[in-house]
Amino acid sequence: MASHESDDDIIIEMRAFGRSVKVTAICCKTGDEVSIVGDVQTPQAQLKQLAARKLRFVQERNRN
Protein backbone atom coordinates (compact mmCIF):
# COMPACT_ATOMS: atom_id res chain seq x y z
CA MET A 1 0.00 0.00 0.00
CA ALA A 2 1.45 3.34 -1.03
CA SER A 3 1.56 6.11 1.52
CA HIS A 4 0.85 9.64 0.39
CA GLU A 5 1.62 12.95 2.01
CA SER A 6 -1.47 14.64 3.40
CA ASP A 7 -2.35 18.04 2.01
CA ASP A 8 -1.36 19.48 5.41
CA ASP A 9 2.25 18.48 4.66
CA ILE A 10 2.35 20.41 1.36
CA ILE A 11 3.09 24.10 0.87
CA ILE A 12 1.48 25.64 -2.21
CA GLU A 13 2.84 28.84 -3.75
CA MET A 14 1.05 30.66 -6.58
CA ARG A 15 2.56 33.43 -8.73
CA ALA A 16 0.75 35.16 -11.57
CA PHE A 17 2.65 36.15 -14.72
CA GLY A 18 0.36 37.92 -17.18
CA ARG A 19 -2.35 35.43 -18.21
CA SER A 20 -0.55 32.49 -16.58
CA VAL A 21 -0.06 31.38 -13.01
CA LYS A 22 2.81 29.21 -11.80
CA VAL A 23 1.84 26.87 -8.98
CA THR A 24 4.59 25.22 -6.94
CA ALA A 25 3.92 22.39 -4.47
CA ILE A 26 6.59 21.61 -1.85
CA CYS A 27 6.57 18.63 0.53
CA CYS A 28 7.41 19.83 4.04
CA LYS A 29 8.85 16.46 5.06
CA THR A 30 11.11 15.71 2.07
CA GLY A 31 11.64 19.07 0.38
CA ASP A 32 10.46 17.59 -2.94
CA GLU A 33 9.15 20.31 -5.25
CA VAL A 34 7.11 20.37 -8.47
CA SER A 35 5.55 23.14 -10.54
CA ILE A 36 2.71 23.51 -13.00
CA VAL A 37 1.57 26.43 -15.13
CA GLY A 38 -2.09 27.22 -15.70
CA ASP A 39 -4.44 29.93 -16.87
CA VAL A 40 -5.20 32.67 -14.34
CA GLN A 41 -8.94 32.08 -14.85
CA THR A 42 -8.69 28.47 -13.66
CA PRO A 43 -10.07 28.17 -10.11
CA GLN A 44 -7.30 28.26 -7.49
CA ALA A 45 -8.60 25.11 -5.81
CA GLN A 46 -8.28 23.18 -9.07
CA LEU A 47 -4.71 24.41 -9.65
CA LYS A 48 -3.70 23.55 -6.08
CA GLN A 49 -5.22 20.08 -6.37
CA LEU A 50 -3.40 19.44 -9.66
CA ALA A 51 -0.05 20.56 -8.21
CA ALA A 52 -0.52 18.35 -5.13
CA ARG A 53 -1.42 15.36 -7.35
CA LYS A 54 1.67 15.95 -9.47
CA LEU A 55 3.83 16.08 -6.33
CA ARG A 56 2.42 12.75 -5.10
CA PHE A 57 2.93 11.22 -8.57
CA VAL A 58 6.57 12.32 -8.73
CA GLN A 59 7.26 11.09 -5.19
CA GLU A 60 5.73 7.70 -5.98
CA ARG A 61 7.69 7.44 -9.24
CA ASN A 62 10.95 8.29 -7.47
CA ARG A 63 10.36 5.59 -4.80
CA ASN A 64 10.33 2.88 -7.47
Q: What is the pLDDT of residue 64?
A: 81
pLDDT digits (tens, 9 = 90+) for 1-25: 234 456 669 999 999 999 999 999 9
3-class SS of residue 11: strand
Domain spans in the chain, listed from the N-terminal domain onward = 7-63
pLDDT mean over 42-49:
97
User: What does the alpha-carbon distance between residue 42 and residue 61 come to, in Å, rounded to a whole number?
Assistant: 27
| Contacts (Cβ under 8 Å, ≥6 apart) of 59 | 4, 5, 27, 30, 32
pLDDT mean over 41-54:
97
pTM value is 0.84
User: What does the alpha-carbon distance between residue 37 and residue 21 come to, in Å, rounded to a whole number?
Assistant: 6
Largest pairwise CA distance in the chain: 42
pLDDT mean over 23-41:
96
